[in-house]
Chains A and B, each alone.
Chain A
Amino acid sequence: MKLPYAILVAGLIFLNSYAHAQDQKKLDFNVRAGFSIGGASPVGFPESIRKIRKYNPGLLLSLEAGAEYHFSKPWALASAVRFEQKGMTTEAQVKGYYTTFNAGDRSGDQSVTGYYTGNVETTVRNSYITVPVHLIYNFNSPLSVRVGGFASWILEKKFTGFARDGYIRDKTPVGEKEEISEAAYDFSDQIRPFNAGIELGAGYKIRSHLTASVNFSWGLTPLMKSDFQSIDFKMYNLFANVGLVYHFRR
Chain B
Amino acid sequence: MKNTIAAATLLLIFWLAGCIRPEAENMEADILEVKLPDSILIAPPVLSNTTVRAFVKYEKMNIKAFALEFVLTPGATISPQSGVAQDFSSPVTYTVRSADGNWTKQYRVSLLQNTVSGTFFFENWALTPEANYGTPYEIEFGEQQNVWASGNSGFSLVTPEKAPEAYPTRQFTEAIEGKYSALLETKSTGTLGAMFNMPIAAGNLFLGSFDGSKSFTAPLEATVFGIPFNKKPVRFTGQYKYVSGGPVKDKNQQPVSPERLDECDIYAVIFKGSAGQPYLNGTNVLTDPSVVAVAQLANGRSTAGSGFVAFDIPFQYRAEIDPTDLAAYAYKLTVVFSSSKNGAVFEGAVGSKLLVDNVKILTE
Contacts and interface: CB of A to CB of B under 8 A. Distances in A.
A41 B24 CA distance: 20
B275 interface: no
A39 B13 contact: yes
Contact of A103 (B6, B19, B195, B217): B195
A186 to B, nearest CB: 11
Contact of A183 (B13, B160, B196): B196
A240 B12 contact: yes
B192 A111 contact: yes
B215 A43 contact: no
Nearest to B48: A176
B48 to A, nearest CB: 9
Interface stretch (B63-71, B78-86, B97-105, B285-293): B97-105
A178 B198 CA distance: 15
A58 B20 CA distance: 23
A110 interface: yes
A50 B23 contact: yes
Contacts of A212: 1-2
**Which among A109, A111, A173 has the highest number of chain B CB atoms within 10 Å?**
A173
B212 A45 contact: no
Interface in A90-127: 95-96, 101-105, 107, 109-112, 115
B105 A37 contact: no
Contacts of A177: 30, 49, 212-213
Contacts of B22: 47
Interface string B147-186: 0000001001111100000000000000000000000000
A179 B217 contact: yes
A49 interface: yes
A216 B10 CA distance: 9
Interface of A: 37-39, 41-52, 95-96, 101-105, 107, 109-112, 115, 167, 169-170, 172-181, 183-184, 202, 204, 212, 214, 216, 218, 238-240, 242
Contacts of A180: 216-217
A242 B5 contact: yes
Nearest to A102: B192
B200 interface: no
A111 B159 CA distance: 8
A104 B195 CA distance: 9
Contacts of B9: 37, 214, 216, 240, 242
Interface in B42-72: 49
6 contacts: A43-B17, A43-B18, A173-B28, A174-B29, A179-B217, A216-B9
A110 to B, nearest CB: 4
A242 B21 CA distance: 30
B17 A39 contact: yes
B29 A103 contact: no
B321 interface: no
A234 to B, nearest CB: 12
A179 B6 contact: no
Given A214-B5, A240-B13, 6 more contacts: A45-B17, A46-B21, A173-B27, A175-B49, A178-B216, A212-B2
Contacts of B20: 45, 49-52
B214 interface: yes
A109 B26 CA distance: 29
B101 to A, nearest CB: 12
Interface string B185-202: 000001110111000000
Contacts of A43: 16-18
Contacts of B6: 37, 214, 240, 242
B17 A95 contact: no
A112 B157 contact: yes
B13 A238 contact: yes
Contacts of B10: 37-38, 240
A214 B192 contact: no
Given A174-B103, A178-B213, A214-B6, A47 B23 contact: yes
A44 B192 contact: no
Contacts of B13: 38-39, 41, 216, 238-240
B78 to A, nearest CB: 13
A181 B216 contact: yes
Contacts of B216: 178-181, 183
A180 B215 CA distance: 9
- The 10 A-B residue pairs with the shortest CB-CB distance, nearest first, are A240-B9, A173-B27, A103-B191, A47-B24, A174-B105, A110-B192, A103-B192, A214-B5, A44-B18, A41-B17
